[in-house]
Amino acid sequence: MLQQARTIPTRQVPPTAVARQAFDSPLDMMGTQMRFGRNAEVYGEDEPAEYLYKVISGAVRTYKVLADGRRQIGAFYLPGDIFGLEAGDDHAFSAEAVSDSQVLVIKRSAAMDMAARDSTVARQLRTVTGRELQRAQEHVLLLIKSAQERVAGFLVEMARRAPGASTIQLAMSRQDIADYLGLTIETISRTLTQFEKSAAIALPSARQIEIRNRAALTRLNS
Amino acid sequence: MLQQARTIPTRQVPPTAVARQAFDSPLDMMGTQMRFGRNAEVYGEDEPAEYLYKVISGAVRTYKVLADGRRQIGAFYLPGDIFGLEAGDDHAFSAEAVSDSQVLVIKRSAAMDMAARDSTVARQLRTVTGRELQRAQEHVLLLIKSAQERVAGFLVEMARRAPGASTIQLAMSRQDIADYLGLTIETISRTLTQFEKSAAIALPSARQIEIRNRAALTRLNS
DNA sequence: CGACCATTTGATATGGATCAAGCGATGTGG
DNA sequence: CCACATCGCTTGATCCATATCAAATGGTCG
């Protein structure tokens, strides 16, 4: 499952129509918008964490590849999410665009400077790290569960994070989901068809999932 | 009485000095020392996170119990470790003493106030949260691996965190380890005997594990 | 239309769970 | 000081959920 050759990210001067709703913090004013093609690398593991990133459109995954080639996805970031803020000086994971994405790139040092002066920004950065921690802890809880529970949990999480619509638009492949949940694509696929047969979801197409019985999914997600 | 078994005269220090070495931060001056008996609750999930805690002696586990009774241990905290610092206002996990433990209890609001005035303390608190995040991320990576790899990873982690000695003194039971690694006690036990047979470790007693071939364990921990 | 890739579906294998029993250390009451 | 209960751990036999191997199907783009 080799990644396709990395495309060179094209730096763009802030274009005309920017997703205005994404600019909701003083931090955002310091960012430069960049475009990353599908599977393009945003940063690599062990690179110095010089920037933070905010997804404007598209989706980004962070991941690690273990010695034997297994890939573990740490998280998916959707529009509005901030990522790349690390505990140490270097990135612990690599980051790639799941699909074509617009990303706001903010210099870390500048963000830190601003945080030192503006306690609102400082609080925001703490909140981001805190959410990241919560996310990782919930991920741990997911990974000890059965395949059904993991997939149900994933769907519920995606439904919660996606804009209101009852049909989830998945940016990521079955392989991405499998690598996030510690399962195989076959198990993901089988579990989804099973949910479909039990009428908990509908699958108009592979990347569209309609939640028909959220209670059933939440119950599974014990 | 646990530690009484092994006596290394040159390394022995009076109890007062042992306690003192844990007081290495301005934060510690604000703490009150408390004793928790084996299995005593330090705090419960969903309680307001009014305090932070620092282990002086003994060991503490944080955990969640899922709806169906499964217990997931989030982390073990050993002497010197700080825990109970949460992202939100409430504790996400419960905390219990694994064995009789001395714990320094520090008022959260006081710690925050001090952080606002002393940037060293602020940095220290950020570092603690950051380490917590790293730990959770590593925990995720552990949970997708095979039983052998998880157990090996656990042993290597414990060896790293424990004071120099080549023999690890485990404060926790097989059930604790199982609930940390998402395995059963039987699998923990079988895997340890397997490691013993392959001469990677020695098991003088159930709670003492001597690492005989760290390279072999690290290799497993791919 | 044809090639390619992602996804689904089917058949079989296997690692770890479960069920069950034995064992050794520790503590307790007689 | 011994007999016995208890508890944590180990070991054995069997089962089952998910992985693995394999092939068919479907969707997308030249």
Give the tens place of pLDDT for each residue, A107-148: 999 999 999 999 999 999 999 999 999 999 999 999 999 999
Mean pLDDT across the stretch A65-88? 95
Q: Which residues of A touch B139 (CB under 8 A)?
A: 136, 140
Under 8 Å between Cβ of B56 and B97: no
pLDDT digits (tens, 9 = 90+) for B39-90: 999 999 999 999 999 999 999 999 999 999 999 999 999 999 999 999 899 9
Q: Which residues of A touch B222 (CB under 8 A)?
A: 66-68
B162 exposure class (CB count in 10 Å sphere: 0-12, 13-18, 19+):
middle
Q: CA-CA distance, B216 to B200, in Å (whole number)?
A: 6
Is the CB of residue B68 less than 8 Å away from at least one CB of chain A? Answer: yes
Q: Do B87 and A133 touch (CB under 8 A)?
A: yes
Q: CA-CA distance, A117 to A122, in Å (whole number)?
A: 8
- Give the closest residue to C16 (Cα–C1′): B187
Mean pLDDT across the stretch B109-122? 94
Mean pLDDT across the stretch A95-115? 96
User: What is the pLDDT, as a whole number, of residue A9?
Assistant: 41
User: What is the pLDDT, as a whole number, of residue B34?
Assistant: 97
User: Quick one: pLDDT band at residue A23, thresholds 50, 70, 90?
Assistant: low
Under 8 Å between Cβ of B95 and B42: yes
Say whether A96 sits in a helix, a strand or coil.
strand
Distances (CA, A) of B217 to A70, A72, B105, B210: 19, 21, 36, 12
Nucleic strand D near CB of residue A194 (< 7 Å): no
User: What is the pLDDT, as a whole number, of residue B57?
Assistant: 95
Q: CA-CA distance, A187 to A193, in Å (whole number)?
A: 10
In sequence order, which residues have a C-beta less than 8 Å from that of residue B143 and are 6 or more positions away? A140, A143, A144, A182, B150, B181, B182
Closest-CA distance, B141 to chain A, in angstroms, reads 7
User: What is the pLDDT, as a whole number, of residue B37?
Assistant: 94
Distance B177 CA to D3 C1' (A): 34
Q: Chain-centre distance of CA B89, in angstroms?
A: 23
| Helix extents (H) in chain B | 15-22, 108-117, 119-143, 147-161, 174-181, 185-197, 214-220
Is the CB of residue A214 less than 8 Å away from at least one CB of chain B? Answer: no
Nucleic strand C near CB of residue B213 (< 7 Å): no
Residue among A67, A72, A144 minimizing CB distance to B72: A144
Among A5-14, B174-183, B198-207, the least confident range: A5-14
Nucleic strand C near CB of residue A129 (< 7 Å): no
Biggest alpha carbon–alpha carbon distance for chain B: 56
Nucleic strand D near CB of residue A206 (< 7 Å): yes
**pLDDT at residue A189 is higher than 60:** yes
B64 strand-pairing partners: B72
Other Cβ atoms within 10 Å of A34 Cβ, number:
19
Is the CB of residue A182 less than 8 Å away from at least one CB of chain B? Answer: yes
User: Quick one: pLDDT band at residue B23, thresholds 50, 70, 90?
Assistant: low
pLDDT digits (tens, 9 = 90+) for B106-115: 999 999 999 9
**Tokens at A89, concatenated:** 């000086």
Q: Which residues of A touch B130 (CB under 8 A)?
A: 86-88, 129
Torsion of CA A104, B137, A152, A65, to 10 degrees: 80
Distance A86 CA to C5 C1' (A): 35
> Which of strand C's nucleotides are less than 7 A from any protein C-beta?
6-11, 15-20
Residue that wins the pLDDT comparison between B55 and B7: B55
Biggest alpha carbon–alpha carbon distance for chain A: 56
User: Quick one: pLDDT band at residue A186, thresholds 50, 70, 90?
Assistant: very high
**Number of Cβ pairs < 8 A linking chain A and chain B:** 80
Q: CA-CA distance, B74 to A67, in Å (whole number)?
A: 25
Work out the mean pLDDT of chain A and round it to a whole number.
Answer: 89
Distance A190 CA to C10 C1' (A): 11
pTM of the model: 0.91
**pLDDT at residue A7 is higher than 90:** no
User: Quick one: pLDDT band at residue A205, thresholds 50, 70, 90?
Assistant: very high
**pLDDT at residue A1 is higher than 60:** no
Q: CA-CA distance, A211 to A162, in Å (whole number)?
A: 12
Other Cβ atoms within 10 Å of B199 Cβ, number:
10
